[in-house]
Amino acid sequence: MEHDYFLFTDHLAVGYQGKALIEELDIHIKKGEILAMIGPNGAGKSTILKTITKYLKEIKGTILMDSSDINTMTNKEFSTKTSIVFTEKIKTEMMTCKDVVATGRYPYTGRMGILTREDRSKVNQAMELVHITNLKDRDYTKISDGQRQRVLLARAICQEPQLIVLDEPTSFLDIYYKLELLEIIKKLAHKKKIAVFMSIHELDLAQKVADYVLCVKDGKVFRYGKPEDIFKEEVIQELYHLNNGSYNALFGSLEMNQTFGRPNVFVIAGGGSGITTYRKLQQKGIPFITGILHKNDIDYQVAKHLANAVIVEESFEPISDAVYEKAKVAIRKCDYILNCLKQTGSMNERNLELLQTAEKAGLKKLHTTDELDWS
Amino acid sequence: MKKEYQRYVIAVLLLIVVFFLLLFLNIGMGSVTISAKQILHILMGYAADDTAYNIIWKIRLPRVTASIVLGGALALSGFLLQTFFHNPIAGPYILGISSGAKLIVALLMVFALNKSYVLNSGMLVIAAFAGSLISMEFVLIMAGKVEKMSMLIVSGIMIGYICSAITDFVVTFADDANIVNLHNWSRGSFSGVSWDNVSVMSVIVLITTTITFLLAKPIGAYQMGETYAQNMGVNIKRFRILIILCSSMLSACVTAFAGPISFVGIAVPHLIKRILNTSKPIIIVPISFLGGAIFCMGCDLIARTAFSPTELSISSVTAIFGAPVVIWMMIRKVGDSSYGT
């Protein structure tokens, strides 16, 4: 087969005890590429990763690594090509972080596993690369989850693999460590030309780090492609069966569902001034209408998920009479008006007019959502 | 020299000093006290006092050699089981493996006594090995069924009780004057060990210990957990079988010649790890062996001399020193989330 993929699977089926959990996997990764795998819990992401790394036997199909079948490789040969960062907790006993990293040199050491000077310098380099040199003498059980994850990554690096397989490397990490870890992974892929295959739950991060994205669901590949083709509202919504919230493709963020019921509050917003208020109202379970927003306003991105109705105007157009009338009709049905706008310009100045209309119509003016107690 | 190496060297030197001290005490102390000068004379081959010569060569030397070899074997067996089950309080006694060996050996002994058949050392070892493997099989089945490691220990203890009960039953109803010996053996004792026994156990333990030492590298990988070990290139299936065979063989050897001995397998590897502040198998394997030898020599000395002429069972002494170590370990582990026992 003529291709330059480092990892290539053909009609692969994976599962346990001869039973396929996921079938027809055609995965391909080149050196220097990052493939992120997303999908609901229990879809079999870990099973795929465990099969790729030879821990589980494949049910059907072939896995080629560097153009040769992984089953024809010796354990040692395989271990110099692939290394892992998995979720299972390692119970070490009196091992320093450096000891843990050094286990990555296993395939290269002799019968008794004694480290040579070269091995030691590779261990040090790997620790430098992930910025954990300061942890080298600390006990592995006495450091934080974020630090542990980096130690395991350093371990994987000093195994000098051409492919690193990571199972949810960012879970349990705070945002600082998440970003740092992914930054290192990106650097590894792009600078050291290592192929990376990882499962990940954070869609926003996956979108930013992956070259390709594999979505698995219901025993098969649901979608496989570039991030821009995957991170779309409808794809993600279907992948995760989102019915108690929604995915915003532009922000890569998740929003809860709108509160149903007769809206009683009209929120005037625009230019990002409304987002906090929308989320607060949603949290309190208060249905609301908002407007008048332009379609390219960032408030609109959140409003369309959270508001019961949004009065919108086309992008870059001044507010037309028709839209204004719609807003007026909506306002008359409400009891409260909340103005978030701090600033207006020629495109949305009619919102101020709308506020006056509301006050004239006898709506109670609110300054914050706290004035509303919906009990 | 690096700090950790300094620590190893100092600790090992100290252990060696203690080893020789205990060796001398074991040879010299007893119902007849023999002076250090006499001991050296006799060991160098100068025939001095006939009684002293006989006591040393026929009784005390084989006995102390047995306690060295078997003590080391016990410690290693425990270390292997702890690695295998990823559980710091696993050991041949607590998992019921010693008791399984004891049962089969007792059955064989009673059978031989009835038929007036003389058993040799090899047969005892084979019987004990078979018994160890049977118990081990049960433990492995339980390990596949229970999720919590603490439940594994509980089921091991239960297997131990069942085997001991059957052994007691068999021993009680065996009718022979030799039953006294059998009874002593079934409680654990180094007494009455012959040079023939010593040579057989030494060969077996030496071979098994060498194999274990050569497995130091994969043991180190396996300490990281199966998935990681596999990714490092360890053939997991073959490795697991080797570990089971080695640990069963070591504890079988102990049971065949000295009966079941408690807590050495758990306490010694743990103490050695604490002293050396490492869990690297390449260091822990040989030094645990040394530690086990010291522990058993010391305990046997107490068993022989504390209430002389009455001899304590070796297991009661090892329990007095070993069990507190285990309790201390468990207390230390409480609140440590990385231990899923």
Residue A343 has pLDDT above 90, yes or no: no
- Write the pLDDT tens digit of every residue in A46-101: 999 999 999 999 999 999 999 899 999 999 999 999 999 998 778 888 899 999 99
Beta bridge partners of A82: A163
Of A303, A365, A305, A312, the closest CA to residue A334 belongs to A365
- Is the residue at B181 inside a domain? yes
Residues of A in contact with B282 (CB under 8 A): 112-114
A107 closest CB neighbour out of B228, B233, B340: B233
Pairing outcome for strands A364-366 and A288-294: unpaired
| CATH number of domain containing B183 | 1.10.3470.10
User: Would you state the pLDDT for residue B38?
Assistant: 82
For A258-371, CATH number out of 3.40.50.2300, 2.20.25.90, 3.40.50.1220, 3.40.50.300 equals: 3.40.50.1220
- Is the residue at B340 inside a domain? no
Q: Indicate the SS3 state at residue B233.
A: coil
Phi, psi (deg, nearest 5) at residue A289: -115, 145
- Is the residue at B338 inside a domain? no
Judged by CB atoms closer than 8 Å, whether chains meet at B338 and A106 is answered as no
- Is the residue at B339 inside a domain? no
Helical pair B149-173 and B97-114, crossing angle rounded to 10 deg = 10
Host domain of residue B306: 3-333
> The pTM is what?
0.85
Is A258-371 in the same CATH topology as A5-245?
yes
- Pairs of CB atoms within 8 A across A/B: 84
Q: Which of residues A226 and B311 earns the better pLDDT score? A: A226
- Is the residue at B277 inside a domain? yes
Start-end of H helices in chain B: 3-28, 36-44, 50-54, 61-85, 97-114, 121-145, 149-173, 179-187, 195-214, 216-222, 226-231, 236-258, 264-276, 281-305, 314-333
Of A305, A303, A279, the closest CA to residue A313 belongs to A303
- Write the pLDDT tens digit of every residue in A36-54: 999 999 889 999 999 999 9
User: Would you state the pLDDT for residue B43?
Assistant: 79
Angle at A184 between CA A182 and CA A188, to 5 degrees: 115
- Identify whether the C-beta of residue A65 lies closer than 8 Å to the C-beta of residue A231: no
In the predicted model, what is the mean pLDDT of residues A271-289? 90
Interface residues from chain A to B (CB-CB < 8 Å): 50, 53-55, 74-76, 78-79, 82-84, 86, 88-95, 99-100, 103-104, 106-107, 109, 111-114, 141, 159
State which residue of chain B sits closest to A104, comparing Cα positions: B232
pLDDT tens, chain B, 341 aa long: 577 789 999 999 999 999 999 999 999 888 888 888 888 888 777 766 678 888 888 889 999 999 999 999 999 999 999 999 888 888 998 899 999 999 999 888 888 877 877 778 888 899 999 999 999 999 998 888 877 777 888 889 999 999 989 988 887 776 665 666 677 777 788 888 889 989 999 999 999 999 999 999 999 999 998 899 999 999 999 999 999 999 999 999 999 999 889 899 999 999 999 999 999 999 999 999 999 999 999 999 999 998 878 888 899 999 999 999 888 888 876 544 444 33
Number of H helices, E strands in chain A: 13, 18
Pairing outcome for strands A163-167 and A195-199: parallel
Residue A1 has pLDDT above 60, yes or no: no
User: Would you state the pLDDT for residue B1?
Assistant: 55
User: Would you state the pLDDT for residue A373?
Assistant: 67
User: Would you state the pLDDT for residue B334?
Assistant: 53
Query: For chain A, what are the domain ranges?
Result: 5-245, 258-371
Total structural domains within chain B: 1
State which residue of chain B sits closest to A85, comparing Cα positions: B228
- Write the pLDDT tens digit of every residue in A150-164: 999 999 999 999 999
Q: Which fold has domain A5-245?
A: Rossmann fold (3.40.50)
User: Which residue's structure tokens are 């009891």?
Assistant: A335
User: Would you state the pLDDT for residue A59?
Assistant: 94
B309 CB neighbour count, 10 Å cutoff? 8
- Is the residue at B341 inside a domain? no
Q: How far is B265 from chain A, CA to nearest CA, in Å?
A: 17
CA distance A25 to A43: 13
User: Would you state the pLDDT for residue A348?
Assistant: 87
- Write the pLDDT tens digit of every residue in A184-214: 999 999 999 999 999 999 998 999 899 999 9
User: Would you state the pLDDT for residue B286?
Assistant: 96
